[in-house]
């Protein structure tokens, strides 16, 4: 039985449902984040006022500091002040971190499925940061951020269609199908398409939108003419493969879903030892990073 037949059989109960990507309820960026982002767009922004605005939101402040002290930077000292975080990150990265901090707010609920989706994002973020250390061209902080948001479309799909997305995740696990295969048959679009919409609404950079749309798409990556974009996409794709192989964000390890890993390693210039070292470092450091992000 092919993929289409299998999905139609399993989803027969929902055969009357019609899904329109343009009718999706896309979450807005929280108000305080909008104010901060507007300030960051001002080339003459007052740093003290920016710091005070962020500090007025205790939850946002905590998230910024937590992220600054976890997967994004390997700092020798712990950042405890918002002003220090701003100085270390710079405005561009702070802007991205504000957006990331808003992602958690986009969950309508935070049950088991939501925890698994978040766990996978954090895992790919951590793994991508480790891979980036072995690929000098790629910025570690951008790799980590890209990893965290690469599957943001899954969050939106789950928010809008929780029952159908629970079925989607079950089909992935039981029948060893990829999310894109299942989503295409159920919704006629995928989490990557939805991710592109939220990228536009939230104002993600072009490179982040490209990662969301094309991670794992080896045909696109091999034909990519921008060497930085190509390297970043390869790094995110490898990090995604590592997490899938280990079962990060899944019910169990899913090596059967991993594709083109050796070719990706060759294209990015990593040896088998580099791969083993990356996996070992990930296994050692991921639990603490996950704890930081889950708080």
- The C-alpha atoms of residue 13 and residue 163 are separated, in whole angstroms, by 12
DSSP string, 212-268: HHHTT-HHHHHH---HHHHHHHHHHHHHHHHHHHHTTTSSS--GGG--SHHHHHHHH
- The C-alpha atoms of residue 22 and residue 128 are separated, in whole angstroms, by 31
Domains of the chain are 29-106 (no CATH), 108-295 (1.10.3210.10)
* 8 Å CB contact between 167 and 6: no
pLDDT at 11: 52
- The C-alpha atoms of residue 57 and residue 63 are separated, in whole angstroms, by 10
pLDDT at 240: 98
Please compute Rg for the chain using Cα positions: 19
Among residues 210, 215, 190, which one has the least CA distance to residue 200? 210
- The C-alpha atoms of residue 47 and residue 1 are separated, in whole angstroms, by 61
Among residues 113, 253, 258, 115, which one has the least CA distance to residue 178? 258
Question: Residue holding tokens 């960051």?
Answer: 40
pLDDT at 204: 84
- The C-alpha atoms of residue 214 and residue 189 are separated, in whole angstroms, by 14
pLDDT along the chain (295 residues), means of 10: 52 59 86 84 88 88 77 70 85 77 75 91 94 91 90 94 94 92 94 94 88 96 96 98 97 93 95 96 91 71
- The C-alpha atoms of residue 96 and residue 45 are separated, in whole angstroms, by 17
pLDDT at 131: 97
* 8 Å CB contact between 118 and 90: no
pLDDT at 17: 59
Q: How far, CA to CA in Å, does 17 sit from each of 81, 159, 276?
A: 50, 16, 45
- The string over 247-280, giving b where at least 16 C-beta atoms fall within 10 Å of a residue's C-beta and e elsewhere, is bbbbeeebeebeeebeebbebbebeeeebeebee
pLDDT at 250: 94
pLDDT at 15: 45
pLDDT at 71: 56
């Amino acid at each position: 039985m092919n993929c289409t037949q299998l999905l139609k059989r399993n989803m027969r109960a929902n055969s009357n449902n019609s899904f329109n990507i343009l009718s999706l309820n896309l979450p807005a960026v929280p108000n305080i984040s909008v104010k901060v982002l507007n300030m960051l767009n001002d080339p003459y922004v007052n740093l003290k006022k920016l710091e005070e605005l962020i500090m007025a939101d205790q939850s946002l402040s905590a998230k910024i500091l937590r992220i600054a002290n976890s997967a994004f930077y390997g700092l020798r000292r712990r950042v405890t002040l918002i002003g220090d975080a701003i100085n270390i990150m710079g405005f561009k990265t702070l802007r991205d971190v504000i957006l990331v901090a808003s992602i958690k707010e986009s969950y309508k609920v935070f049950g088991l499925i939501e925890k698994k989706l978040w766990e996978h994002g954090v895992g790919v973020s951590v793994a991508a940061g480790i891979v980036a250390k072995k690929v000098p061209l790629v910025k570690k902080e951008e790799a980590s951020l890209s990893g965290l948001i690469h599957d943001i479309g899954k969050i939106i799909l789950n928010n809008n269609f929780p029952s159908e997305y629970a079925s989607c995740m079950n089909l992935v696990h039981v029948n060893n199908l990829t999310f894109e295969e299942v989503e295409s048959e159920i919704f006629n679009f995928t989490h990557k398409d939805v991710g592109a919409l939220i990228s536009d609404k939230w104002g993600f950079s072009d490179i982040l939108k490209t990662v969301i749309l094309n991670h794992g798409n080896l045909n696109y990556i091999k034909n990519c003419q921008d060497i930085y974009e190509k390297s970043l996409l390869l790094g995110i794709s490898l990090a995604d493969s590592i997490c899938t192989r280990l079962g990060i964000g899944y019910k169990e390890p899913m090596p059967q879903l991993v594709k083109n890993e050796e070719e990706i390693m060759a294209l990015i210039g990593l040896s088998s030892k580099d791969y083993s070292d990356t996996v070992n470092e990930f296994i050692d450091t991921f639990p603490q990073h996950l704890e930081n992000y889950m708080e």
